[in-house]
Chains A and B, each alone.
Chain A
């Protein structure tokens, strides 16, 4: 499995889907690990009932159907599928509503979804997802596109006065420009970070989780800036230091 994850870290991000399918076919026994640990660009579906869109991921999937956080129904319809308990479902509904507002405030657009389910340790797991892209068009023939997809998975420990929250966040960022005069330029990929906190349950799960996510996203934004624009650019400048004017040679004649 470690080798498989190693391969995923090296393959070009635009080929992640192909790489994952290849790994799934080579390691069918590890499929559930692979599917839950590898992040692919997010996809969305429309809810039949409300027309609202929701994000597809491993955490709302059963067989080939996906559960909508708005109607709590599987698309396409499925018998005997797992659902969160009604108490958890209430929390999930609230989380979806609030997370939508949060995303609007920070991202001014995009789609969000939250899924929760009970885990084996008397706690539960919540997954907050955000999908969105922006396209800009400058002068004729110049296209700029950016996509920011975020996945935050929080494992919440059994409810005690101070409860343990383990957050794993992945941001998949892709920035590309395609210009007739300067060719194609693509910076894409993902970074992942973790954060664990013990917080008073009296403050409310949503409040605790929300604050953690907000803090993490702020840190990630800085890391992304450093890595995408700092490190890769540093590498390019190391390969060929930008120089003002390299000496031009004149013909001897």
Chain B
């Protein structure tokens, strides 16, 4: 139908498009997207370049969890734990995972060096908090992963300076055979402010779901919240932060339920009535066409 001139796309343009598709894949679906994309793109060189740039972005933003060889458990791929392009610290085990982003697998593991780990002082806080968070995640999420990283001030040796920790929680549920996938990600940035002896927390909660049987329906939610608590001993601080997080996340879950209820009960029902006001189906008539409108209008009592 359209006889447009065929402007051939440059490799760079094709790469940009390929990256866009990969990065926008829903949780757990990048491999499927990449299969379809390869067919559509029909250019392996461009695809490989795009993949090498897009996969790390996707993996970090989705906080994917990879199994480490050697029985060390799982490592979370996040920008907070990134030491180099494909090296990710697992603070729990003090191991560094070497990751192949495109294959989404951990290929090797090595112990972390002292420079890569926080000081003993900071580590006390980090470790205590991580232990509490692990307990919380195990209770609240059937299949959740979490890590606590030091994002600032990792060399602080003693009280007197500020430092920052970040708590990362990720849970994904992948059910491609049921055409449904979902993910829950929360990131809590915690600033330990030594001078005022307080902790400032900033939480970002992201929930998503994708249903794709005979269609494409996606849930996309985001919420940010703040809170604060006292700067105490590592164990007490850990307990109070974990309680705070637990409280906010539970409240958010409740507010999600409420949003569902409100939308379903109000907005959705308002969009289309089950039946017209007459409480009968629309009176399509089995008569010839041309007087149809007049007859229907009369029947419905619409003035014309």
Give residues in A with beta carbon < 8 Å to B.
Answer: 3-4, 6-15, 18-19, 22-23, 25-28, 31-32, 62-63, 90-91, 94, 97-98, 101-102, 105-108, 132, 134, 136, 144-148, 173, 175, 177, 181-193, 202-207, 210-211, 214, 217-218, 221, 224-225, 227-229, 231-236, 238-243, 245-253
**Which of B21, B144, B239 is the most central at the interface, judged by chain A CB atoms within 10 Å of its CB?**
B21
Within the complex, what minimum Cβ distance (angstroms) separates B58 from chain A? 13
0/1 string, B36-58, CB within 8 A of A gives 1: 11011100000000000000000
Contact between chains at A191 and B182 (CB < 8 Å): no
Q: With A235-B209, A236-B207 in contact, do A105 and B300 touch (Cβ < 8 Å)?
A: yes
Q: With A238-B142, A239-B173 in contact, do A175 and B2 touch (Cβ < 8 Å)?
A: no
Contact between chains at A144 and B223 (CB < 8 Å): no
Residue numbers in B under 8 Å from A185 (CB-CB) = 219, 221, 256, 259, 263
Give residues in B with beta carbon < 8 Å to A.
Answer: 1-2, 4, 6, 9, 13-14, 17, 20-21, 24-26, 29, 32-33, 35-37, 39-41, 132, 135-136, 139-142, 144, 171-173, 180-184, 205, 207, 209-212, 214-224, 235-236, 239-240, 242-243, 246, 249-250, 252-260, 262-264, 266-268, 270-274, 276-278, 281-282, 284-290, 292-293, 296-297, 300, 302
Contact between chains at A231 and B263 (CB < 8 Å): no
Cα A217 to Cα B272 in complex, Å, equals 9
Known contacts A10-B36, A182-B259; 7 additional CB pairs below 8 A are A106-B282, A177-B259, A183-B221, A189-B211, A189-B215, A205-B289, A252-B235
Residue numbers in A under 8 Å from B215 (CB-CB) = 9, 189-192, 227
Q: With A11-B21, A235-B209, A243-B140 in contact, do A211 and B260 touch (Cβ < 8 Å)?
A: no
Minimum-distance CB pairs A-B, first 9: A183-B223, A191-B215, A189-B217, A105-B276, A235-B182, A3-B39, A3-B36, A146-B267, A210-B284
Q: With A238-B142, A252-B235 in contact, do A232 and B219 touch (Cβ < 8 Å)?
A: yes
**Of B24, B249, B253, B264, which one neighbours A225 at CB under 8 angstroms?**
B264
Residue numbers in B under 8 Å from A191 (CB-CB) = 214-215, 217
**Of B37, B139, B172, which one neighbours A7 at CB under 8 angstroms?**
B37
Residue numbers in B under 8 Å from A253 (CB-CB) = 236
Residue numbers in A under 8 Å from B270 (CB-CB) = 134, 136, 146
Contact between chains at B33 and A101 (CB < 8 Å): no
Contact between chains at A242 and B239 (CB < 8 Å): no
Of chain A, the residue at the smallest CB distance from B267 is: A146
Q: With A207-B285, A239-B173 in contact, do A145 and B267 touch (Cβ < 8 Å)?
A: yes
**Which of B25, B221, B255, B277 is the most central at the interface, judged by chain A CB atoms within 10 Å of its CB?**
B221
Cα A240 to Cα B36 in complex, Å, equals 31
Cα A242 to Cα B220 in complex, Å, equals 18
Contact between chains at B2 and A240 (CB < 8 Å): no
**Of A3, A98, A240, A252, which one neighbours B40 at CB under 8 angstroms?**
A3
Of chain B, the residue at the smallest CB distance from A29 is: B6
Contact between chains at B218 and A188 (CB < 8 Å): yes
Contact between chains at A229 and B207 (CB < 8 Å): no
**Which of B21, B136, B268, B272 is the most central at the interface, judged by chain A CB atoms within 10 Å of its CB?**
B272
Within the complex, what minimum Cβ distance (angstroms) separates A118 from chain B? 16
Residue numbers in B under 8 Å from A94 (CB-CB) = 289-290, 292-293
